[in-house]
Amino acid sequence: MEENIQALDELNRRNLEMLFSISPWTIVGGLIFGILGVWIFRKARKEGNIKLMWVGVAMMAYQLFTMDPIAIWAIGISLSALAYRWK
């Protein structure tokens, strides 16, 4: 029982460290690709392009699931290239 409590305490400590160690590049990438995702979504909705709408939704949502700045920039650039290809 004591081991489980210690393991949960360690997990909580790591989660708090991750929450408060957000890189400025993570925030900048999230803002850039989030705004770009909104723009792509609105443009695709006006044109009736369903595939491009899903790319816009993905660009707005993927930042919620990763905290790594390299992953945010890599996924954002990849989704931007996909949107450019499908336009």
pLDDT in tens, 39-55: 999 999 999 999 999 99
pTM for this model (two decimals) = 0.73
Amino acid present at 35:
I
- For residue 54, what pLDDT is reported? 96
Element spanning 4, H or E: helix 2-20
